[in-house]
Amino acid sequence: MSDCCATGAKNGNDRYDLVVVGAGSAGFSAAITAAEQGAQVALIGHGTIGGSCVNVGCVPSKALIRAAEAVHHANAAATKFAGIAAQAHVVDWKAQIAQKDALVAGLRQAKYTDLLPAYNNVAYHEGRARLVEGGVEAGGQRFASDRIIIATGTRPALPTIPGIADVDPLDSTAALELTELPRSMIVLGGGYIGVELAQTFARVGVEVTLVFRSRLLPEAEPEIGSALTGYLEDEGVTVIGGLAYESVRRTQDGVMLTVVRDGRPETISAERLLVATGRSPNTEDMGLAEVGVVQTPTGAILVDDRMRTSKAGVYAAGDVTGKDQFVYMAAYGAKLAAKNALNSDSLRYDNSSMPAVVFTDPQIGSVGLTEARARAAGYDVRTSVLSLDNVPRALAARDTRGLIKLVADRGTRKLLGGHILAPEGADSIQTAAIAIRCGLTIDDLTDAIFPYLTTVEGLKLAAQTFDRDVSKLSCCAG
């Protein structure tokens, strides 16, 4: 697409009230927010419109995760439910990829391309952007403005392991485009992308080895990472942590990864290598240093709590800042940046009640502080940990994998953090997020009315666990 929806500047002299660089979720959020306030906006995109989430991230990965879940749960049904016989397996992965691609194309069209004509004060242009004094240059054009928002996102990063570039490694983007499944796969990285993809490929028949430097999901509560490790191993995933990467080389059958664990070298072989060890900001050749925009050593753009960079009039939002790399936080930060750019910087970025989800099975939902972070912040901490075999929903579903951990302040009893590992944990975490946002206590959760036989009822039970043995309560959480 090349300037398909561009309408040119509306306020004369080719000047805009705001120039937004990046046409993903953050860029569109900023442009739409500004347009709704009556601003004349230039939106500059480069590459496929829509950014990472809809094209190569959230949407395609969750579509394939759900397909793999269908295979797994059909095969697991007989072990859970008496009198049930079912079986499923992949017969045509290429067809599943085509279905995923159709979903991506449809959402990209509906949520990005088709939106542009609805905002006639947004001029869309294609081109690689570079900041210059007084505006932005892209595609051979100059877009003059005193206010700029950078929302160029990130891309998969390749770790510095000797030989890795020579083995044709998969990144998350390429992995989601495979039309033929490999026999075996090494997944590098124990973060959320690594664990989601490791489980997904294992469930569709790939022999998976998941390796990482420290522990699984190092940002999560250790109880959750430990439990999930066991569940992955139960499904046949080989999980190896606490190691250092030594080298990678090609073999006749694929790749060989050499690692060092407990001071001794080990080798791991597979047909393909999938790298999920992080992402790099898209900031190259943008002229940031020349105009005075300060970056971190990894290239991310430094912003303050108003989304301002070190250069007056220049803001940044979304994954390019290295903060809270979730699509909804990118949209939130970009909306804030647009309002601040046009309205005197009055709004502050607040992620204190930001929910985060990992789409493994069981799912992980987290919000607020972990126990370790709460203690580091100086709180006198109390915690409760409730295993899912105390939650009636899990018993009825015959799936008691998981736990719920709550973190609270001892004196005020205010809820500081909520962490759920459960098959339906993603849809339950928002209750804890609202509780934290509203400053509720564990007593407020205990006294609230929750629907019976739901996963979210486990939050009430976990709150009651601070002060009583919930196994001695009757139905409906007492």
Residues 366 and 330 in one domain: no
192 is in an annotated binding site: yes
194 is in an annotated binding site: yes
Residues 129 and 208 in one domain: no
pLDDT tens digits, one per residue of 286-321: 999 999 999 999 999 999 999 999 999 999 999 999
Number of domains present in the structure of the chain: 3
> 């860029």: which residue's tokens?
27
Residue 385 lies in a domain: yes
Residue 260 lies in a domain: yes
Residues 152 and 288 in one domain: yes
436 is in an annotated binding site: no
The CA-atom distances, in angstroms, between 217 and each of 24, 111, 225, 228, 371 are 27, 31, 6, 9, 15
Q: Is the pTM of this model over 0.85?
A: yes
Residue 477 is predicted with a pLDDT of: 55
196 is in an annotated binding site: yes
457 is in an annotated binding site: no
For residue 476, give both structure tokens: 């409906």
- CATH number (domain holding residue 304): 3.50.50.60
186 is in an annotated binding site: no
Task: Tell me the torsion sign for CA atoms 331, 334, 335, 336.
Answer: positive
230, 248, 277 — which closes off a domain? 277
Residues 147 and 183 in one domain: no
Order of all β-strands in the sheet with 403-409: 355-358, 363-368, 415-422, 403-409, 381-387
Residue 427 is predicted with a pLDDT of: 94
Segments in the chain below pLDDT 50: 1-12
148: containing domain = 18-50+112-156+280-342
Q: How far apart are CA 54 and CA 47, in angstroms?
A: 13
Residue 475 is predicted with a pLDDT of: 77
Residues 220 and 178 in one domain: yes
195 is in an annotated binding site: yes
189 is in an annotated binding site: yes
290, 309, 342 — which closes off a domain? 342
278 is in an annotated binding site: yes
Residue 95 lies in a domain: no
192 closest CA partner among 406, 321, 21, 363: 363
Whether residue 340 contacts residue 315, with contact meaning beta carbons closer than 8 Å, is answered with: yes
Angle ∠(336,337,342) on CA atoms, nearest 5: 100
Residue 81 lies in a domain: no
Residues 38 and 127 in one domain: yes
